[in-house]
A and B are shown apart, each in its own frame.
Chain A
């Protein structure tokens, strides 16, 4: 069974540019979540999508956005990049149903973004 696939694995951008990251969940998983990991702030929740609808959103500026497609694949976009956006962006998928908060998340290896 294939795991969670994130592309690209590494990328370098300059300030002011935008970036799109992609996540393919485990087959059958309908929930996709995104997390940002930095040395200073640790792991922080960005947003969660379930059946193409944003179900939860973390405390990030509007420059961070996402979407989910009918096949459950998800993309996140960061516009007008800042130096502080340099981070490892982790995607996680889960079945999505069941009691709230109970789902086990399966994480991808992440996309490491460097902003120069």
Chain B
């Protein structure tokens, strides 16, 4: 069965610091998809990124970057020069390719607090 672990339950940083959120996953599938979602206080999850298991290229989008390493089953998320608006709960999620549809397994989430 698939599993996603986010070992950091809460992280507190000061604005402009860099911060990395860790995500480790388990799956027996060779085809799978990894996601990061952000949940601000309003409640709805906001999609950030999707990677498939065949694409290990790291990705950068503005201040956000993602490091996908199949060898360690990790998909870590780094925020560079953090801002107060980055404060939220961040979820890593896994979807296996053998499912007939879309079923996400979420990690427990990491609450990020960015202080001014």
Contacts and interface: CB of A to CB of B under 8 A. Distances in A.
B97 A100 contact: yes
B80 interface: no
B103 A48 contact: yes
Contacts of B101: 31, 48, 50, 55-56, 96, 100-101
**How many B residues are at the interface, by size bracket?**
20 to 34
Interface string A1-40: 0011000000000000000000000000001010100000
Interface in B91-115: 91, 95-109
A110 B44 contact: yes
**How many A residues are at the interface, by size bracket?**
20 to 34
Given A42-B106, A45-B104, A109-B43, A104 B99 contact: no
Nearest to B96: A101
B32 interface: yes
A103 B44 contact: no
Nearest to A33: B102
Contact of B91 (A43, A58, A88, A100): A43
Q: Which of A4, A44, A55, A105 has the most CB of B within 10 A?
A: A105
Q: Which of A35, A42, A94 has the most CB of B within 10 A?
A: A42
A112 B35 CA distance: 24
Given A101-B33, A102-B52, A55 B100 contact: yes
A105 B102 contact: yes
A31 to B, nearest CB: 6
A108 interface: yes
Interface string B27-48: 0000111010100001111110
Contacts of B42: 109
18 contacts: A31-B102, A43-B91, A48-B102, A55-B100, A90-B43, A96-B101, A101-B97, A101-B103, A102-B33, A102-B50, A102-B52, A102-B95, A102-B102, A104-B35, A107-B37, A107-B45, A108-B44, A112-B43
